[in-house]
Chains A and B, each alone.
Chain A
Amino acid sequence: MANTDPDTELVRLAQAGDVHAFEALVVKYQRRVARHVARYVRRASDVEDVVQETFIRAYRGLAAFRGDSAFYTWLYRIATNMALNSIKRDPAPVLLGDDAPEERSEPFHPGVSDNDDPERRMMASQIAEAVQRALDRLQPDLAEPLMLFEVEGKSYLEIAQMLSIPVGTVRTRIYRAREFIAKRLEPVLGPQRDRRW
C-alpha cells in the first residue's frame, strides 16, 4: 500500500459518516492513548476522563484531519493537549520536567479508580502470562513477524524485506500468530467478554 498510515481507510469511512469505523479506532487505540495520558495525569479517573475527551474531540474534529500525519499521531497530539489542560486545572498530581513522565513505568489500568486494585492486577498478570505461554509455544516463523510488527513497529513491507518473504505471507503469518494466541487467551478473558466492545 502506498499510504503508510494504517488507519487511512477507517478514517475515511469515519469521515464519511460510518460511526462503526470510528468505534474500531477507539477500540484499537484506547489503551495506547490511556497509557500516554497516564504519563501526565496520575489519577485513573482523571485519565479516563481525558481519554474520553480526547476521542470525543477527535471525532468532532475529524473533518479537520487531512492526513498530513498518521491518525494516531494526530490523536496523541490531542491527548497531550487534553492531558496538559487537565494538569493545569489540577496541578497536584503532575509529574513533569526531570521527573520525566515518559519514564514512568507503572502500568495504567483503564477504567478503574485505583491502579492498585488487586483483582485487576491479577487479571492483567493472567493475561500477560497467557500471552507469554502462547508465545513460547508459537512457531518461530509465526512469532517473528508478529513481534516485528507489534513490538518493533515495522511495516508489513519492511517485514517482508527483512524475512525475504512476500507481503501476503507476512499477512498470513501475523494472522495465524494472533489466532494461536487469541485461542489461548480466550479462557482468561471469558468472564469480562460481555463488557467488551
Chain B
Amino acid sequence: MTIDVSNLLDGQLEAEEAKRALKETTSQPELRDRYTIYGLVGDVLRGNSTPDDGFSVRILQRMRDEKVRIEPGYDPLAG
C-alpha cells in the first residue's frame, strides 16, 4: 500500500507497522520507487529539485564494499 510508504517516510507508523511497511517497501520495486519519489517531492518543494541519479546507491554500495558495521562504543561526533 502506497499510503504506508507515505506514512513510513513521515514516521507516522508505530513499531510493528513500521517494520511491516519497511519490509514491503524494500521488497517491492514499485513501493521503493514511491518512497524515493515522495522524498524527492518534498525536496523539490523545499527548493532542491536534483534527481537522485545513483547518489544514494553509491553510498550504500560503498557501505557494502567496506563492510561497514555498527560499532558499539564508536562516537561519530568525536574527533
Interface of A toward B, CB cutoff 8 Å: 1, 5-10, 12-13, 15, 17-18, 20-21, 23-24, 26-28, 30-32, 34-35, 48, 51-52, 55-64, 74, 77-78, 81, 107-112, 120, 123-125, 127-128, 131, 135, 146-147, 149-151, 156, 171-172, 174-175, 178-179, 181-182, 185-186, 189, 192-193, 195-197
Interface of B is mostly: helix
B6-32 interface (Cβ within 8 A of A): 6-15, 18-19, 22-23, 25-26, 32
Within the complex, what minimum Cβ distance (angstroms) separates B54 from chain A? 4
**A9 close to B11 (CB less than 8 A):** yes
**B50 close to A8 (CB less than 8 A):** no
Interface of A is mostly: helix
Please measure, in the bound complex, the distance between the C-alpha atom of A133 and the C-alpha atom of B69, giving whole angstroms: 43
Chain B residue numbers with a CB within 8 Å of A24 are 8, 22, 25-26, 35
Chain A residue numbers with a CB within 8 Å of B63 are 55-56, 59
